[in-house]
Structure 1
Amino acid sequence: MFFLIFWYFDIIKLHSTMSKYRIQQFPDSRLATMDICEIGKQKHHVTGLIELDVSESRKKIAEYNKVHQEQISFSAWLLAVIAQTLQKHDRASSYLIGKNKQIIFEDINISILVEKEINGSKVPIPLLLEKAQELSIEAISKLIQDAKLKPLTDKDIVLHRKRQKSERLYYKLPGFLRRLFWRYLLNTPKLAFQKMGNVSFTSLGMMGDVKGWFIPISIHPVCFGVSSTVKQPVVYNDQIIIREILKMSILMDHDVMDGAPMARFIAELSKNIERGLNLYG
């Protein structure tokens, strides 16, 4: 009895000394992010953490932008390199179908995140780059820029279209039913490819000026997490000099690709990025 009385007065004291706070509602699209994270934790992703010397590539992009009215971005160039390299290693972007089969798509459809402001809050919204292996760096840059400038409200879930009735219903469902939708999507690879592509790319580490790696959670077969480019000493042409180094994490689904092919893909991708594939100057 005395214990309950003391406990009651402790609670009163706690509330009387509690600091001020505010409750803020976040956009409904945040629920989908939570569901994707929950499903993504169950994927058999192997994570690679790599460092890439992008000094020459960034220099060529800067030189290009000096003489061209249509600017290209570093992220757009990375996306173009990833798409073209993945086309040669298409098993990396394939989906598991059944117990011992995989469906390999000819096209590389990349889902990227574009940060938008909704009701005063910055929210990452997905944008799908279809047939990215066929898009030029200029075309990808324009698509990203247009998506950033397009007005967006909390009535939108995906850029360029309004919510459908099924999407409004989705947000009203309890969590376990919402996650059943994502499991169904992954078990229907053709639909998954159509709706969200077969590759995920996030450069949120760039926005936060991250000095190391960050490891995203994804439901895609392959996912790229790009951090900031930092200057650090490296051995270059047998000399220790300061170079611009990009830190990138790569998540690859071990269910559809073995370790050796993964290593060959990462090796070729690293080579293409460091030599500035498709850049001139």
Structure 2
Amino acid sequence: MSDRDDRIEPFSPRRRGTVDYMRTAGRRSNVHGLVEFDVTEARQRIRTIEEETGEQLSFTAFVVFCLARAVDDHPHINAYRDWRGRVHVFDDVDVNVLIETTVDGERMGVPHVVRGANERSVRSIHDEIRTAQKAPDPTALSRLETMALRLPGFVRRLVWRLPQWFPRRWKDMAGTVAVTSVGMFGQGGGWAVSPTNYTLQVTIGGISRKPRLVDGELTTREFLDLTVTFDHDVVDGAPAARFVQRLGDLIEEAHGMPTVDEQ
């Protein structure tokens, strides 16, 4: 058996950062909920806007908007414990969102923090995401960041302890809640479960078509699969359930999604 087609490639510094993040996140008290919401109305509005204006409104922006409004209604979700055991509850909902961009011809997801999303419109969030997608190589690391990622692993992983130690610094660096997406890279339904360093993370899965009774009639609807992850050290089950219910209500009624006349 020949191994002449095998190759050895260097492990990139950015991947080291991912390894550090996942190892630290795996030590938190994460609880995952797998839910699905009817997004037929929201998707129809997006399609109508595209047909009338030629512009495709970001579905991710809509989810970020609904998430921020739901968190604003349940502010104790937007909180972190510090090293002294106190709970820091933030007013601003800063959403760290994974956006899709192209670097060197390859599609990839990169993080971007939408500040004060609870005070923003879907259109405002959409415009910021589109601008971030067009930014020159958002994955480029500064010289200082490259040097930091070459430090020993146990030193690098101290950075990801910021949520437990200094919540304000974590907010400034990485936001307060997170939205990540695997649905942007594939088709069909499905959930993804991932550890996180955030008190709240929403993972956008796929969208599938299923039958549903609407006003007594069976019709085909579009359902979004979401994984909602909480830090159980900060959020109990009952508040988490109420938050998820509120999030679902906002998404299913296409809250904040503009019509063509409002563009």
Q: Deviations over 1:255-278 (max 9, x none)?
A: 111111111110111011101112
Does the CA contact (< 8 Å) of 2:206 and 2:225 recur in 1?
Answer: yes
Say which SS state the counterpart of residue 17 (structure 1) adopts: coil
Residue in 2 that maps onto 1:9: none
Residue in 1 that maps onto 2:90: 105
Q: 2:214 aligns with which of 233, 236, 239?
A: 236
Residue in 2 that maps onto 1:208: 186
Residue in 1 that maps onto 2:120: 135
**Distance in 2 between the 1:278 and 1:148 partners?**
22
TM-score normalised per structure 2: 0.90
Residue in 2 that maps onto 1:12: none
Q: Which sits farther off after the overlay, 145-154 or 77-86?
A: 145-154
Does the CA contact (< 8 Å) of 2:31 and 2:232 recur in 1?
Answer: yes
1:93 and 1:204, CA in 2 relative to 1: closer, same or farther beyond 3 A? same
Q: 1:199 aligns with which of 167, 177, 197?
A: 177
**Distance in 1 between the 2:18 and 2:226 partners?**
21
**Distance in 2 between the 1:171 and 1:123 partners?**
20
Structure 2 unmatched ranges of 5 or more: none
Q: Which sits farther off after the overlay, 87-96 or 20-29?
A: 20-29
Does the CA contact (< 8 Å) of 2:49 and 2:55 recur in 1?
Answer: no
Q: Which has the larger radius of gyration?
A: 1
Q: Kindly provide the amino acid, as one letter, of the partner of residue 234 in structure 1.
A: R
Q: Deviations over 1:186-244 (max 9, x none)?
A: 31100001000111101222322252111122111100100121112233333332110
TM-score normalised per structure 1: 0.84
Q: 2:157 aligns with which of 168, 171, 179?
A: 179
Q: Percent identity?
A: 29
**Distance in 2 between the 1:278 and 1:43 partners?**
33
**Distance in 1 between the 2:164 and 2:130 partners?**
30
**Distance in 1 between the 2:201 and 2:117 partners?**
15
CA RMSD of aligned residues (A): 2.1
